[in-house]
Structure 1
Amino acid sequence: MYIRRVTRKNKDGSVTAYLQLAHNEWDPKAKYAKAKVIYSFGREDELDRAVLERLAKSISRFLSPEQAFEAREAIGEAAEFLFQSCKRLGGVWMLDQLWRKLGMDRILQQLFASRHHQLDIERLIFAMVANRALAPSSKLAMEDWVREDVYIPGLSQVASHQLYRAMDELLAVQSELEYQVYGAVSDLLNLEVDLLYFDTTSSYFEVDPSEAPEEDTFRKQGFSKDKRPDLLQVVIGLAVTRTGIPIRCWVWPGNTMDMTVVEQVKKNLIGWKLGRVISVIDRGFSSEENLRMLQRAGGHYIVGEKMRSGKAASKEAMSTRGRYHQVRENLHVKEIIVGDGEARKRYVLVYNPKEAERQREERKKLLEKLQAELDGLKQLSHEVHSKAACRLRSHPSYGKYLRQLKDSTLRLNKQAIRDAEKYDGKYLIRTSDDTLSPEDVALGYKQLIEVEDAFRTLKSTLELRPMYHRLEDRIRAHILLSWLALLLVRIVEVDTGESWRKVRDELQRLALGHFSSKNGDLYQCTEITAKQRQIFAAVGVEPPPRFLEIQPNS
């Protein structure tokens, strides 16, 4: 079956053409095939060509792409362009547009302007930040990633030694970079910095401590928040706004204690002239010296207090009678003032009924298991009994609920159980700011979870660890790059209301095809989905154009 064109010569010498749908049938009398017209489309010059286009499209639905191409090739209409390659575009495009929207490219170009680099350091730094956010890998693996996997505007290929050089240059301008980035981000996003949340975490290295060089004063063993005390580590601090935007990071040797870092953090932030800042910190930083430090230059603090710390003021606060006031569902607060004059301390005791019920249920299950263990001791021989009893007494969860009788028999400690019940669903907060309502104090401290979320993103999504760098400067630069990636990621999460993993997976489906012909090269994007457009709109950046680049042959 085919479309044929037949002509007729008119009396005036003109020619009229007609288009027909026909197929050949064998004529047994004539002994050859004759065309049989199935349908006549009419005169060619009067034909509605859209009819033919619809017919062609409906037929092509029943052909494979290869068959459709062969059919066009058979009639001399083969495609002009050859499909050369396909790279991921959506994630890099989003990060690059946000990077430029924040003015990061301009800031870095200004900082490196006087250094007269032959390399585009800004593009190298952005490539490492994008890699950390999209597909964390080593600097050597980034060579293939840039060349084969993604399209990075202004950077088609890179060498690992160039990336290490860019890391060194980045660290040299760290202080000014952090300050300018904060200024650009706070102005653009209108950040509220009256409450700043601060916390620390640790990150380890895949290095046997016995193999570490003696001159290594940075990678040290210390209290590991990753539960890897057997490995060398560094301590990382983050200052985060109430919406979860990380505005600054710090790095200290792995054996640094939390209590010793507040002074440096405070001094660094005072230099930024943030105005009235209330620092929200966890219980690990609540020494009196740290609290006095936070009040310098007109600052204030909201800090968690250990309810069983043994401090006289904390004991008095916990034992003070008074009514709780419900301010939100599952949030009850009680304001407590301890002392007078300069010794006056303001506390807020917070009670969460739902959390209290959860803790009671967990303790009930734990005590049932413990009682079963105690019942099982009676069936054991003397030597085995002694070992099992020692194991129970030293158990981190069971031991606090046990007491030993004079005959060495173990029993449940009912007084310890009653004492534990007093703390169910409660936490104690101390603040130096008298202008904040108890509700604001409680909610402010509760949002300290934003820092924990930032650390979780840093370690899991951005794969901060494991780290293999040995030199202190490279370690600091690696964490600085991770902070820049975290900054972009958290802005996207806040704007879209979705996790970066979901956003990243959706955007990475947007690809860029490279087509070539005798006339030049063409770079065309796949069609943008409604979900992808929604993401770009939420972040306030333009999606890529359909044709990203056209390179005609000269």
Structure 2
Amino acid sequence: MFVKLTRSGSRNYVKLVEAYRDDHGVSRQRVVATLGRLEQVRTGAADALIRGLHRVIDGEEPQAPSVRFAPALAVGDTWMLHALWHKLGWDAAFRRVLRNAHGAFDAERLLRVMVFNRLSDATSKLGVLRWLEGTRVPEVDSASVTHQRLLRTMDTLAERSEAMQRTLAALLRPLVDQDLSIVFYDMTTIGIEGHSEMPGEIRQFGLSKDGGIRRQVMLGVVQTAEGLPIAHRVWEGNTAEAPTLHAVVDEILALYPVKRVVLVADRGLLSLDNLEWLQTVRIGKTAQPLEFILAVPGRRYGEFNEILGAVQAEHGVQAKAEVIGETAWQGLRLIWAHDPQAAAQQSAARRQTIEMLTQQAERRAGKLDAQDAGAAFKGRRLSDSGAKAWLFRAVSDAHLGSIIKVDLQSDRFAYTEDEAALKRAELNDGKLLLVTNTSDLDPAEVIARYKSLADIERGFRVLKSEIEIAPVFHRLPERIRAHALICFLALVLYRLLRMQLKASGSAYSPERALEIARHIQLHQVRIAGQGTASGLTDLSPEQLALFDQLQLGIPSQEPFDIAL
């Protein structure tokens, strides 16, 4: 049944028409009711009939007029991310990689949904469906997003991970300095839930960088000096950091054919084997060597006591600000920096901890002597073995085992303080040692480059806080790697958003920018007798300025209509 307009002379009539088939199966139409002339219907002559139809459809008498509002949907933040995704060319590029993966749905759009979710309201894959109940992603029909399809998209990502890495590198290559690329490499640990065992297991127990021993995987990230992440890799949770350097360097040189690379890495990646190997690496097929700046692990500072002693003797007391210098070591440059204020604070904090522990130890020793003399105390009787166990744990937790040494072999509670070890520790306070083969960077520039490595640590904090990469609840190794890739893409978008905001002089962080945009909502209203209407909230001056700073188009309703 439908409404039909007919014309008779100069007048238009509105009729309610029913389609049917006659006895011979021929499709025909018949008029059920004539509502009147078009002009009369528009002026309300057919209101009684319309109200009757509404009673049948809605089960209630419409008010004058009946208005229903659907829940508002957040669209501003997803529009911002969608516009950036499109501006970068990721939609077309990733669709080529994921094409024909599943004919029933668009894997690239589901990838987009999962990446946007990490930045807007990070949650589990099942949680993505709940998130979509209050959010719309441009060009995505929410009804097409199911948990099974999200997992199948992750499986496709895992299958085509190398192609995804190459495609992402090609997209990011124009943003990387082709003449000189300073790249930073560091690793972190990602906590994993679950106790099952899978073939090719990468969930292993290891020392977490958040503290303690837990089941985890290792994640390595490479980023440029400008703060742009350009590559990542997942390893088993008990992998040592130093051996990973080979694979990362090979991958970076293959993905980003720059003329000169300076690799900056933290203390865990320095080993004699790595140093020897790094000095043999060449850029592409040229004679240009790979250059590096590596921090010396604190445990190896003892090899440089003579150098550190000379620095301490000359600058330990007199210096008021950081002092920088260099010397030669095994054919390489050894750059050192001494911060007297930091040294004084570290030494004072250590001595305060030692004093507190020794005072508590002396009280326990005094109580043990009193017990031996026949004194009684309230509570559980103290034992020598209990006192030794307590002090050993306390010293280990304070990282003072080389200075306060508990005699675990003695029958009685006993310990010693190693003054020589304390002086060696204080000799290292406030010091930084870097090994490099660069020739044109002065010591201050080398130190500054290394300190920029702290930005990659901030990236890890973003991964663990805003993007919530951990804990991971996936069991299959390939799903874990796919999850890491999704979170890495979210981190790249986050950093590109940060770079654009910084370039425009904006004081907003990416989190604040997404929060401001999130207040832009899509509203849908149904008015009895007049159908439905939808629209976006009017943009505030702050929101208009934000999209202008990001050089992104103003949100429009058209890309969201697919889901209405």
TM more than 0.5: yes
Matching of residue 309 in structure 1 with residue 319 in structure 2: no
| Residues 176 and 224, structure 2, Cα contact 8 Å, conserved in 1 | no
Following the alignment from structure 1 to structure 2, what is the Cα–Cα distance between the partners of residues 271 and 505? 38
The residue type paired with residue 235 of structure 2 is W
Offset of residue 305 of structure 1: 0.4
Offset of residue 546 of structure 1: 7.5
Aligned-pair identity (%): 26
Deviations 1:206-248 (A, max 9, x none): 123xx424x343222223223352x432111100112222111
Matching of residue 212 in structure 1 with residue 197 in structure 2: yes
Q: Aligned in 2, Cα 1:192/1:550: closer, same or farther, shift over 3 Å? A: same
> 1:7 matched to which residue of 2?
none
> 2:264 matched to which residue of 1?
280
Which protein has greater RCO, CA pairs closer than 8 Å, 6+ apart?
Answer: 2
Following the alignment from structure 2 to structure 1, what is the Cα–Cα distance between the partners of residues 166 and 173? 11
> 1:332 matched to which residue of 2?
323
Following the alignment from structure 1 to structure 2, what is the Cα–Cα distance between the partners of residues 361 and 496? 42
Q: RMSD over aligned Cα, in angstroms?
A: 3.2
Q: Aligned in 2, Cα 1:419/1:106: closer, same or farther, shift over 3 Å? A: same
Matching of residue 177 in structure 1 with residue 167 in structure 2: no
Q: Aligned in 2, Cα 1:474/1:125: closer, same or farther, shift over 3 Å? A: same
The residue type paired with residue 177 of structure 1 is M
Following the alignment from structure 2 to structure 1, what is the Cα–Cα distance between the partners of residues 560 and 100? 32
Offset of residue 190 of structure 1: 6.3
Q: Aligned in 2, Cα 1:114/1:418: closer, same or farther, shift over 3 Å? A: same
5+ long unaligned stretches in structure 1: 1-72
Matching of residue 401 in structure 1 with residue 386 in structure 2: no
**What SS does structure 1 have at the residue aligned with 2:295?**
strand
The residue type paired with residue 153 of structure 1 is P
Q: Aligned in 2, Cα 1:461/1:347: closer, same or farther, shift over 3 Å? A: same
Matching of residue 247 in structure 1 with residue 247 in structure 2: no
> 1:98 matched to which residue of 2?
84
> 1:536 matched to which residue of 2?
547
| Residues 524 and 547, structure 1, Cα contact 8 Å, conserved in 2 | no
The residue type paired with residue 518 of structure 2 is Q
Q: Aligned in 2, Cα 1:156/1:204: closer, same or farther, shift over 3 Å? A: same
> 1:201 matched to which residue of 2?
188
Q: Aligned in 2, Cα 1:452/1:192: closer, same or farther, shift over 3 Å? A: farther
**What SS does structure 2 have at the residue aligned with 1:154?**
coil
Following the alignment from structure 1 to structure 2, what is the Cα–Cα distance between the partners of residues 528 and 375? 69
**What SS does structure 2 have at the residue aligned with 1:400?**
coil
**What SS does structure 2 have at the residue aligned with 1:183?**
helix
Note the 1:359-378 alignment, pairs <5 A: 359-378=346-365
Offset of residue 284 of structure 1: 1.0
Following the alignment from structure 2 to structure 1, what is the Cα–Cα distance between the partners of residues 138 and 331? 59
Q: Aligned in 2, Cα 1:323/1:492: closer, same or farther, shift over 3 Å? A: farther
Q: Aligned in 2, Cα 1:366/1:217: closer, same or farther, shift over 3 Å? A: same
Q: Aligned in 2, Cα 1:432/1:96: closer, same or farther, shift over 3 Å? A: same
Matching of residue 475 in structure 1 with residue 480 in structure 2: yes
> 1:19 matched to which residue of 2?
none
- Match for residue 437 of structure 2 among 421, 428, 432: 432
Following the alignment from structure 2 to structure 1, what is the Cα–Cα distance between the partners of residues 179 and 511? 26
Note the 1:110-129 alignment, pairs <5 A: 110-113=96-99, 117-129=103-115
| Residues 259 and 284, structure 1, Cα contact 8 Å, conserved in 2 | yes
> 1:70 matched to which residue of 2?
none
Following the alignment from structure 2 to structure 1, what is the Cα–Cα distance between the partners of residues 118 and 85? 14
Q: Aligned in 2, Cα 1:376/1:502: closer, same or farther, shift over 3 Å? A: farther
> 1:144 matched to which residue of 2?
130
Q: Aligned in 2, Cα 1:164/1:546: closer, same or farther, shift over 3 Å? A: closer
Following the alignment from structure 1 to structure 2, what is the Cα–Cα distance between the partners of residues 307 and 399? 15
Matching of residue 299 in structure 1 with residue 268 in structure 2: no
Following the alignment from structure 1 to structure 2, what is the Cα–Cα distance between the partners of residues 535 and 354? 42
Deviations 1:364-417 (A, max 9, x none): 431331242144234312553553244324522244332579997545443333
- Match for residue 492 of structure 1 among 475, 481, 497: 497
Following the alignment from structure 1 to structure 2, what is the Cα–Cα distance between the partners of residues 439 and 300? 17
| Residues 330 and 352, structure 1, Cα contact 8 Å, conserved in 2 | yes
5+ long unaligned stretches in structure 2: 1-61, 283-288, 370-381, 503-507
Following the alignment from structure 1 to structure 2, what is the Cα–Cα distance between the partners of residues 234 and 499? 29
Deviations 1:417-462 (A, max 9, x none): 3222212211101101111111111011111111211111111211
Q: Aligned in 2, Cα 1:165/1:302: closer, same or farther, shift over 3 Å? A: same
> 1:348 matched to which residue of 2?
335
Offset of residue 260 of structure 1: 1.5
| Residues 190 and 470, structure 2, Cα contact 8 Å, conserved in 1 | yes
Offset of residue 262 of structure 1: 1.1
Offset of residue 542 of structure 1: 2.3
Matching of residue 187 in structure 1 with residue 197 in structure 2: no
Following the alignment from structure 1 to structure 2, what is the Cα–Cα distance between the partners of residues 288 and 219? 29
Following the alignment from structure 2 to structure 1, what is the Cα–Cα distance between the partners of residues 483 and 200? 17
Structure 1 stretch 357-366 or stretch 398-407: which is displaced more?
398-407
Following the alignment from structure 1 to structure 2, what is the Cα–Cα distance between the partners of residues 302 and 286? 10
Offset of residue 116 of structure 1: 7.2
Structure 1 stretch 415-424 or stretch 92-101: which is displaced more?
415-424
Q: Aligned in 2, Cα 1:160/1:367: closer, same or farther, shift over 3 Å? A: same
State the TM-score, normalizing by the size of structure 2. Answer: 0.75
> 2:516 matched to which residue of 1?
506
| Residues 307 and 318, structure 1, Cα contact 8 Å, conserved in 2 | no
Structure 1 stretch 354-363 or stretch 453-462: which is displaced more?
354-363
Following the alignment from structure 2 to structure 1, what is the Cα–Cα distance between the partners of residues 169 and 452? 21
Deviations 1:448-495 (A, max 9, x none): 111211111111211111211111111111110000011111222333
Offset of residue 316 of structure 1: 4.8
| Residues 351 and 427, structure 1, Cα contact 8 Å, conserved in 2 | yes
Following the alignment from structure 2 to structure 1, what is the Cα–Cα distance between the partners of residues 537 and 321? 48
The residue type paired with residue 523 of structure 1 is S
How many residues are matched? 465
